[in-house]
Amino acid sequence: MSNLSTFQHRSMTVVLLSLVSMVACFMWWGKLPIGFLQIETTESKGFRPAWAPPFLFQSEWVDNTDDEVEFTGDDDNYKEGERIRSMDKMENKKRLRNKNASNSTKQNFAFENYKERPKIVWLMSYPNSGTSYTMTMVSRASNRAIASNYGREVTEPPTFNTPLYPGEDWSWNGPFYKPDPRKPLPDDYVLVKTHCGGRCTLCGPDRYVMTEKDFFDECRRGSGLFPKEVQKRVKEMQPPSSSNALSSTVHEGFQIVHYNASLVKKAIHLYRNPFDNIVSRFHLERIHWAAKKMEREIKRYTNDAEGFQRWCKDSNAEYGPKPNKPNKFLPKDVVRLMQGVPCHGEIYRYTQWHNLANAVINHNNKTNLIIHYENYDKKWNETAGKILDFLHLEMQGTNKDFSARHDYDPYFTPTQRSAAKALMQRVATKAVWRQLERYFQDVP
């Protein structure tokens, strides 16, 4: 009897321990149907027991920034901010439901391992505004390495990209540089190229109107070419793409990547005369057509003011908002001001880009330096010196000769320049217009 009682006692103990373990598991996952546990249910957090710390159950793709920017002007009647907030909420819900969202920012930063590596300074520039010249000038003048979000610019296939911060999984998210014993990495800050977002060429408002958050995400977005053994891991680390993001894939084996913005400590904001900038974009399109042997486009859009005007007219007709039709992305007065402006989509994109760049810099408390491309012409020493000082670099290499074309005036008529001024003044924030108004001093 004694042995049987002992056996029964032990059996009951095992059963009780099993029940306790089951209860503990249910409590951990917050699914035990008992009222006093006070299960909390929200769409963003899912199921969480009241006693459990939030960070155990919170999705890692959560945007805690409530700040918004009405980047299309100071008109109180413009309700763009309300539309942006609505779009952001919808986009965040999609991201929170995405099963891979937890991988988007899980990068296990180990910054203590990279004290000897330079911190990032973004060169934030609208395409064709002097980016290449500035990057090359810094590298030649300082004899130090530069870096880029875009791996193709620092290596040629089949050579794999070299991360700026090697040794961790998140290292493959960039930025990237080209190791060169003649140009070592800087000690304090390295200049990194980024074009951010909202810069498509032939596209409508549904693609180029962006929120500040999506723009910021694009600023830390790049592409790289990696060994086969890390390609899957790189893909898993990426956040879901927004509807206005650039293509989620890059050809010839390059993968889309996003690095953590906390790596960025400073920013250089580069401006260029908007008329020259847009004509330069047209010339770049012609280079692309030639590379692709697009004879029709090359013949129709000749390399002169007439070809440019024809390109603008066709772009406006195909992608521009119609004045008599409602547009959910642009307010009526902006659509009205667009009429009579060549390449009005380009004018809007250019202005919006600088609005968002300025907002991202200010809202993320980045120390910044504003540079105007034209100052390289008559104030080269002063301009180059400011940039090098900002990067904690010394002038010890060779200067890069500067030459800019000055024959773009015929590409816009005086009437068209006045119309473009009215549009840009309406769209630009006060801070950005202070930087742009110098280009309109002779425009009524």
Closest C-alpha to 253, from 276, 278, 227 = 227
Lowest-pLDDT range, 6-15, 82-91, 176-185? 82-91
Any residues with CB less than 8 A from the CB of 166 and at least 6 apart, and which? none
C-alpha torsion sign, points 135, 138, 139, 144: negative
SS (H, E, C) 90-127: HHHHHHHHCCCHHHCCCCCCCHHHHCCCCEEEEEEECC
Sole residue written with tokens 């015929």: 410
**8 Å CB contact between 145 and 120:** no
Report the pLDDT value the prediction gives residue 187, as an integer from 0 to 100: 94
Q: What is the model's pTM?
A: 0.74
The model's confidence at residue 240, banded by pLDDT at 50, 70 and 90, is: confident
Pull the structure tokens for residue 401: 């000769």
- Residues 149 and 394: their CA atoms lie apart, in Å, by 24
Q: Per-residue pLDDT tens for 24-70?
A: 544 444 433 323 223 222 222 332 223 223 322 222 222 222 232 33
The Cα-based distances of 422 to 212, 330, 342, 437 in angstroms read 23, 16, 13, 11
Q: Per-residue pLDDT tens for 387-411?
A: 999 999 999 877 777 877 777 999 9
Q: Per-residue pLDDT tens for 207-222?
A: 899 999 999 999 999 9
Spell out where 78-232 has E strands: 119-125, 147-148, 162-163, 176-177, 189-194, 221-224
Q: Per-residue pLDDT tens for 264-320?
A: 999 999 999 999 999 999 999 999 999 999 999 999 999 999 999 999 999 999 999
Any residues with CB less than 8 A from the CB of 155 and at least 6 apart, and which? 161, 162, 176, 178, 225
Report the pLDDT value the prediction gives residue 335, as an integer from 0 to 100: 93
Q: Per-residue pLDDT tens for 311-320?
A: 999 999 999 9
- Residues 343 and 314: their CA atoms lie apart, in Å, by 9
